[in-house]
Chain A
Amino acid sequence: MVAIMGSSGSGKSTLLNILGLLDGFDSGEYLLAGESMDGLNERSAAKYRSRFLGFVFQSFNLVGFKTAMENVALPLYYQGVSRKERNKRALEFLDKVGLLDWAEHLPNQLSGGQKQRVAIARALVGKPKVILADEPTGALDSKTSYEVMGLLRELNNEGITMVVVTHEQDIAEMCDRIIRLHDGQIA
């Protein structure tokens, strides 16, 4: 469980986007599961994303017209999993983040903490190796923040790598290692 810290504009989100194959990089090398990610086309990027990576965003980024369960099931839809299996697994992971009773709710019927937990369940459902979290607690109060971090910690203990971008010292300190960025360089 790694925290990436740095002031605004220091390049932490850019680093995360590169790690998430959402953005390209100009120089250097990126190995994911032993394979170079250099010059990847969109189609292969999508394949790696759906196989190895899960995303958690500051603003949750749930699809507004889909229920919590459908949001969680979305990555599975793009993996070509059958509808029945999708929903089963989505419910399983909603249960894991403690939101089974909220499965049929739309995002705007959920609190900030609940939305982030749905987003985490969504990141988990594709059985990723790495979860990339961009300011996962940025929009949450401190009590909820700690709950969410506790959940991420639990998942890390289960063997999933966590990369958490944050600018909050107390959040960063909950991680095993802190990488500080300054003007695009690791300090």
Chain B
Amino acid sequence: MLKIFDRDRALEILQVFIANPFRTFLSGLGVGWGLFMIIVTVGASNGLENGVTSDLGGRVKNSMFFWTQWTSMPYKGFNKGRSFSFNESDTEFLKENSKFTKLVAPRNQLGGHRGSNNIFRGTKSGAFNVYGDVPEYIEIEPVKILKGRYLNEGDIVEERKIAVIGKRVHELLYETDEKVIGSTIRVQGVIFTVVGVYSSFQTGEDAEESNQSIFVPYTTFGKAFHTGDRVGWYGLLIDPDVHADSAATEVVTLMKARKSVHPDDRTAFGHWTMASAYEEMETIFGAFRFIAFVFGGLALLAGAIGIMNIMLITVRERTKELGIRRAMGATPRTIMRQIMSETLFLTTVSGLTGMCLGVASLEGVNKLLLSMGGAGGSFRNPEVSVEIVLTALGVMLIMGVFAGILPAVRAIAVRPVEAIRTE
């Protein structure tokens, strides 16, 4: 009796819809549009997330940067507003005393970007960032070596005057057919030999910036640019088992004691962790997804109400037909089932259509982005997960059932006599 699919019933339903195709189309439009909107908005929000995440690409998730600022509280005879810096002994101190970090990489920078030209090669010149780095720094900010090699321990020990240059630096300072490895560049009057070319794993604007840097050995940097044993800031790797915030607190506390900074001073040190940057983004995209769901859900709800409305009108219009069916032996239950099935069928078909169109448009956008060489900026690979699709389908079915109840009840409330009474 209660078969899931009954060919006769299905044909009966199809016949009703084919009898009035335009009305069928209009009633289905709402739900179709609702699901289309859900798929597209969720997909777009995912695309944005993928884009932004890959912009951060290549940065290590447990990385942290740590620098000095100025004090805001007087302490141990020092006035407030004192500025100070790290030095070599702090590096050793951190390595020995910090339990939560597993790599301490001191860095110095000679700035560069959008400043005056500081790098010369023959008649060509450019403004680039020059960093003094230890070889381990590549673990904090991985780069892809295109030619030659990265910094190594020998460079540090022997204070070699060598440089690893970014892809963009290479493009700007060299002709395409020129040999790079072994050539020399002049950095603020000091000659360096190029031993490697790298490119960044990042994308978008960040990549442009990262690709126009020059890495030189940390020790050489100090000698060549007279920074002595001063450390600009630290790049750190946090123990993966430790929460980024605890590591940051540990490092700051250690340094406060060592640098005679008041324990409650909030401005003396600055730090940035990848983990909290990620968390922040997760929050933002969570909100995006939520909004997409709320709006899509509302669109779906409006669609379901639309279907219900049309079905109510349909029931009214078909009063006579339903009356005839009753006179021909249809039970109220049969009629109710018919109206419910019609509603559910309409909801499902139009919902699936909207869903397919939504997925198809996401695919289309994806193809378009890929054909542009993946240069989609902060937007890439828009997609929806199977779970989201299934959830949307489930919600749609439930709404379909609810949309069918009222029209079905209305349909069986019609008394057969009234229905077939001669006008």
Q: What is the chain A residue whose CB lies nearest that of B326?
A: A46
Shortest Cβ gap from B420 to chain A (Å): 5
CA A116 to CA B412, docked complex, whole Å = 27
The answer on a CB contact under 8 Å between A63 and B321 is yes
For the complex of A and B, list the 3 residue pairs with the smallest distance between their C-beta atoms, beginning with the closest. Answer: A50-B329, A65-B19, A78-B329
| B15 beta carbon closer than 8 Å to chain A | yes
Q: How far is the CB of A116 from chain B (nearest CB, A)?
A: 13
B328 at the interface (CB under 8 A from A): yes
A143 interface residue (CB < 8 Å to B): no
A49 in the interface (beta carbon within 8 A): yes
Chain B interface: which of A51-59, A145-153, A155-163, A176-184?
Answer: A51-59
Q: Which of A46, A63, A83 contacts B324 (CB 8 A)?
A: A63
Q: Are A49 and B324 touching (Cβ within 8 A)? A: no
- The answer to whether residues A20 and B333 also contact, given A58-B422, A59-B422, A61-B420 and a CB cut-off of 8 A, is no
B337 to chain A, nearest CB (A): 12
The reply to whether the CB of A142 lies closer than 8 angstroms to some CB of chain B is no
Identify 29 residue pairs between A and B in the complex whose beta-carbon atoms are under 8 Å apart, listed by A's number. Answer: A20-B327, A22-B326, A22-B416, A22-B420, A42-B412, A43-B331, A46-B330, A46-B331, A47-B329, A49-B327, A61-B323, A61-B324, A62-B324, A63-B324, A65-B16, A74-B324, A74-B325, A74-B328, A75-B328, A75-B329, A78-B325, A78-B334, A79-B329, A83-B7, A83-B8, A122-B328, A126-B328, A126-B329, A138-B422
Question: When chains A and B are docked, how far (Å) is the Cα of A42 from the Cα of B324?
Answer: 14
The reply to whether the CB of B320 lies closer than 8 angstroms to some CB of chain A is yes
B residues 6-49 in Cβ contact with A at 8 Å: 7-8, 12, 15-16, 18-19
Identify the closest chain B residue to A83 (Cβ): B8
User: Contacts A57-B422, A59-B422, A65-B15 known; A22 to B330 CB distance under 8 Å?
Assistant: no
| Chain B residues, CB < 8 A from A17 | 417
Q: List, in ascending order, chain A residues with CB within 8 A of B297's CB.
A: none
- Chain B residues, CB < 8 A from A20: 327
- Give chain B residues whose Cβ lies under 8 Å from the Cβ of A23: 415, 417
Bound together, the chains give a CA A63 to CA B334 distance in angstroms of: 17
How many Å from the CB of B414 to the closest CB on chain A? 11
B1 to chain A, nearest CB (A): 9
Indicate if B332 sits at the interface (CB-CB under 8 A). Answer: yes
- Chain A positions 16-58 with a Cβ under 8 Å from a chain B Cβ: 17, 20, 22-23, 42-43, 46-47, 49-51, 55, 57-58
The interface centre, meaning the residue of A59, A64, A77 with most chain B CB atoms within 10 A of its CB, is A77
Chain B, range 295-335, C-beta contacts under 8 Å to A? 320-321, 323-334
CA distance A23 to B320 in the complex (A): 16
Question: Which B residues lie within 8 Å of A49 (CB)?
Answer: 327-329
Contact (Cβ within 8 A) B417 A59: no
Asked if B423 CB lies within 8 Å of chain A CBs, one says yes
Interface size on B, residues (CB 8 A): 28
- In the bound assembly, the distance between CA atoms of A64 and B15 in angstroms comes to 11
Q: How far is the CA of A61 from the CA of B423 in the complex (A)?
A: 11
Given contacts A22-B327, A49-B327, A75-B328, contact A66 B15 (CB under 8 A): yes
Q: Report the minimum CB–CB distance from B417 to chain A (whole Å).
A: 5
How many of chain A's residues touch chain B, expressed as a range? 20 to 34
**Closest B residue by C-beta to A134:** B422
Q: Which residues of A contact B12 (CB under 8 A)?
A: 77
Distance A17 CA – B423 CA, assembled complex (angstroms): 16
B window 44-88: CB within 8 A of A:
none
Chain B contacts of A126 at CB under 8 A? 328-329
* A59 partner residues in chain B, CB cutoff 8 A: 422-423
What is the minimal beta-carbon distance from A79 to any residue of chain B, in angstroms? Answer: 6
Q: For residue B22, give the distance in angstroms from its CB to the closest CB of chain A.
A: 14
A126 and B328 CA atoms in complex are apart in Å by 9
Contact residues of B between 103 and 160, Cβ < 8 Å to A: none
B320's nearest neighbour on chain A, judged by CB, is A61
Give Cα distance in the complex from A28 to B103, angstroms: 100
Q: Mark interface residues in A75-87 (1 if CB within 8 Å of B CB, else 0).
A: 1011100010000
CA of A43 to CA of B423, assembled, Å: 27
What 0/1 readout, one digit per residue, does chain B (390-423) give for beta carbons within 8 Å of chain A?
0000000000000000000000100111001011
Rounded to whole angstroms, the CA-CA distance of A33 and B423 in the bound complex is 32
Q: Kindly name the residue among A46, A50, A75 whose own CB sees the greatest number of chain B CB atoms within 10 A.
A: A46
Which of B19, B323, B326, B328 gathers most chain A CB within 10 Å? B328
B417 engages A78 (CB within 8 Å): no
Set of chain B residues within 8 Å of A74, measured between Cβ atoms = 324-325, 328
B residues less than 8 Å from A62 (CB atoms)? 324
Residues of A within 8 A of B323 (CB): 61
Which residues 62-102 of A sit at the B interface, judged by CB distance below 8 A? 62-66, 74-75, 77-79, 83
The smallest beta-carbon distance between B328 and chain A, in angstroms, is 4
B153 to chain A, nearest CB (A): 85
Q: Provide the B220-252 mask, 1 if CB < 8 A to any CB of A, else 0.
A: 000000000000000000000000000000000
Chain A nearest CB, measured from B171 CB (Å): 71
B154 CB, min distance to chain A CBs, angstroms? 88
Given the interface pairs A63-B321, A77-B8, the reply to whether A43 lies near B328 with Cβ below 8 Å is no
The residues in B between 327 and 367 inclusive whose CB is less than 8 angstroms from any CB of A are 327-334
Query: How far does the Cβ of A40 sit from chain B's closest Cβ, in whole Å?
Result: 12
Residue in B327, B330, B415 whose CB lies within 8 Å of A55: B327
Nearest opposing residue in chain B for A23, CB measure:
B417
Give the CA-CA distance A55 to B7 in the complex, in Å.
27
